[in-house]
Each structure stands twice: as C-alpha cells, then as structure tokens.
Amino acid sequence: MNILFTCAGRRNYLINYFKEALNGAGKVFAADMQLTAPALVDADVAIQVPAVYSEEYIPSLLDIVKKHRIAAVISLNDLELPILSAAKSKIEALGAKVILADERAIQIAFDKWATAKFLEANGLNAPKTYMDLAAAKKAIVAGELTFPLVIKPRWGTASIGIEFPESIEELELAYKLQNIRLKRSMLAEASKEDIRHAILIQEKITGTEFGMDVLNDFEGNYVGTFVRQKLAMRAGETDKAISVIDERFNKVGKIIGENLKHIGNLDCDVFEHAGALYVLELNPRFGGGYPFSHEAGINTAAIYIEWLKGNKDIIKHFNHKKGLMFSKCDMLIKVN
C-alpha cells in the first residue's frame, strides 16, 4: 500500500507517522517542486514534480500513480486542493484513492468569504467580514466595526499577506498595499476568480486561541474532534500547544463535519472570546497543528490506513488525552 504526499514541503512528521502506520506494508512517496524540500529526506521515495500551476503537474502525478501503484494521494497545500480536486476522477481511475474533500467543501474552505457565510449559515460564530474597503469604512462609521482589524487575502494560505491596521489611515494604506502585492504574489493565480474582491477586512477576535482537527471518514461522515490550546505560534503555524478535551468544541466540530462533509482531516482555527467560540479558518487537509493531536493520542495516519484496507474498526487508534503539552523544535537534516 503505497502512499503519495504531494506538495510535501516541511511535513516530515507526517511522512514518518505514515511510515510507522504502514509498518512495512507499503512505501511513502513524497513529491515536491523542489528536491531540497525537507520532507523528501524522510520519504521512502522522493520525486521532483513541476509547480502546481504548470500544465505538466497533473500528468506528472498520473505518471507517478501509475508507475508506482499508489494506493492513496494526500495533498498538504491549500493552493493545490482545487487543482487536485478537478483531476480526482483521472487519478482514481488508475486505482488510487484521492483523500480530498469534494469541490463544494474545498471552495467553502479556500474562499474565506464563503467560509464566513458557511459558518454563519450553520449557527456558528465568525468574525464580521467585509469584501471591500467602502463597506468596512461604512461599518466603522456606524459603530458596527472597531479597530484593530484584520486584512487578509480572500484566497490565502500560511498567513501570507495578513495585516492588522489600527486606524483609518492604516486601513486605507494596508488595503491598497495588499492589493498591489497580491498581484505579484504566489496567491495571484488563486485570486484571479475575483481580483477586485480578493482582499478581505475582518474584525480582530481576541482571546484564547485553539486549533481543532475535525475528522470525517472517506464518505464524509463525522467521526470526531480533537483540540489543542495554542501556546505559541511561528510563521503561521502552531509552535507550542496543550491538548484539550471540552464538549463545547466537540459540538462545533460536529456541526462543521456534518455540514461541510469534507473527507478526512480538517484543520480549524478557533478563538474563545467572552465565553463564546469563534471559528476563523477551515483547512480541509492536515495542518501544522496535527502532530499535537497525534502525540496526544489520536493516530489519524493509522486510521487512514485502516480505512484504505476497508476496516471500520478504528477505536484502538483513539487514545486522545487532555493536558499533554508539546513543542516543536528546529533540527538540521542533510539534504542529498
């Protein structure tokens, strides 16, 4: 049972979690546009592929799947998700399971405006969100929106292009600057769908920050929610966290899982503010916070393997415990 990770990047821990779960019953393949990507070092087989927006990208994946008898394909990059989704039927025709949400779920999660509307429609708290500067300024004058605010790309990833203006002058300058920068950033292609409304303005929610992994099975049925309180962040990813078990989060996770009907793991950002939970982001993939759930006792890698084998009994991989604290650390690896 060979597993292929695309856009592998720096996710060495996922490579090793799946190698451990396979226990010699298959190999872990890792593909990236750069052979210097750290995750490729730990993979059984490392493969260089074109950039995700290249016309040769999907043909290269099809070749890998066919040549190496890949059983499952797992993406680790937000920008790739819509592209991989469009090619899902071609890949699965070769016998590989693409562990990926459907186009509707990806669109809701990838488009931060659609995310806010989805959350509101399902009775969940979300930051007040505006698609243009004029609407946000009108809300400020009416007292419906107060500083500080958040400016971020509508179709964004990895905290790229996020600003926190604290005055009208800063808001106007940051909004203009982000519109200029967006057109020459890695997000330009993804933002072409509606470039005039590609920057969002949101209220800034303060409070205690949490990360949630919401797990659905391969048919989109809700399985469980696993939470950690974020203690420190670095470059948009959780750096230190402690595991949490709280029924309030389970209720939020269940609403998301049952209504989004994503496939597999979904990474969420949640704030507790004034006793209420606010959902900020939905990422239908493994996120940078997953290792905190894994080390606290929820082995999603092993669960995926069981599901790929057709096994439904996964209870032995559920040992999630509260109060376990972990911290990421830097390490140096030799790149061949």
Strands (E), the chain: 2-6, 28-32, 45-48, 70-75, 97-98, 129-130, 149-153, 199-203, 208-216, 222-234, 237-244, 264-273, 276-283, 325-327
SS3 of residue 179 by DSSP: helix
> Which whole number is the average pLDDT over 304-317?
96
CA pair distance 336, 326, nearest whole angstrom: 30
Which range, of 25-39, 128-142, 232-246, averages the lowest pLDDT?
232-246
Give pLDDT, residue 183.
85
> Which whole number is the average pLDDT over 144-162?
90
For residue 234, pLDDT beyond 90: no
For residue 196, pLDDT beyond 80: yes
Which range, of 57-61, 90-94, 137-141, 179-183, averages the lowest pLDDT?
179-183
Give pLDDT, residue 331.
84
**Fold of the domain built from segment(s) 2-100:** Rossmann fold (3.40.50)
- Say which CATH superfamily domain 208-327 falls into: ATP-grasp fold, B domain (3.30.470.20)
Give pLDDT, residue 190.
79
Domains 2-100 and 128-203 share a fold: no
Give pLDDT, residue 55.
96
Paired tokens of 296:
């606290």
Residue 161's pLDDT band (cuts 50, 70, 90): confident
For residue 108, pLDDT beyond 80: yes
Terminal-residue alpha carbon distance, the chain: 26
CA pair distance 130, 162, nearest whole angstrom: 15
Which residues lie across from 226 on neighbouring strands?
213
For residue 185, pLDDT beyond 80: yes
> Which whole number is the average pLDDT over 120-144?
96
Paired tokens of 253:
């996770």
* Boundaries of every domain in the chain: 2-100, 128-203, 208-327
What is the torsion angle, in degrees rounded to the nearest 10, for the CA atoms of residue 286, residue 287, residue 292 and residue 293? -40
Give pLDDT, residue 49.
98
Give pLDDT, residue 195.
84
CA pair distance 190, 250, nearest whole angstrom: 32
**Fold of the domain built from segment(s) 128-203:** Dna Ligase; domain 1 (3.30.1490)
What secondary structure letter does DSSP report for 289? T
pTM reported for the whole predicted model: 0.94
Give pLDDT, residue 215.
98
Residue 192's pLDDT band (cuts 50, 70, 90): confident
For residue 83, pLDDT beyond 80: yes
